[in-house]
Amino acid sequence: EDMGKSDYPSKRLIIVGSITGNTNTLAGNVPPKANLGDLRGLAGGLNGLNSSSMIDGGDFDGAKAYKDSKVCNMLTMQEFHRRYHEETGITFASLYPGCIATTGLFREHIPLFRTLFPPFQKYITKGYVSEDEAGKRLAQVMRDCLD
């Protein structure tokens, strides 16, 4: 509501996205793939008899949970934009700043993966960005909306 009342000419709500949730990309096809299934995990609730920590009702898998959450974030922004953009003037979007391969996200992987993944992203896929660069990209999107 506050954002809708703002005097800024270009209002944006942006969530950090990832291509790992998009099965049309190489990263999105690395197992486990994002898959919301029939949303059984949501239907069961968090504490119910048929509850699950995964949206598709499956057993917990950290990498899949991350990918599924990014799909949910993208769908949420798409739906917010569809429902509220015309009325509020707010642009709702998801932004992928690049592969930040040196974060703690990969802390559960084997040491060899943690060693090889950043240079693979940097020199082979060319998708690597530092945490600093990712932050700059996000800040630029926000700053550009103020110009």
The DSSP code sequence of 2-38 is HHHH---SSEEEEEE--GGG-TTSTGGGSSSPP--TT
Position 59: which residue type?
D
Q: At 49, is the pLDDT very low, low, confident or very high (cuts 50, 70, 90)?
A: low
- For residue range 56-107, what is the model confidence (pLDDT) as tens digits? 989 999 889 999 999 999 999 999 999 999 999 899 989 999 999 888 888 8
Dist CA 105 CA 62 (whole Å): 9
pTM of the predicted model as reported, rounded to 2 decimal places? 0.81
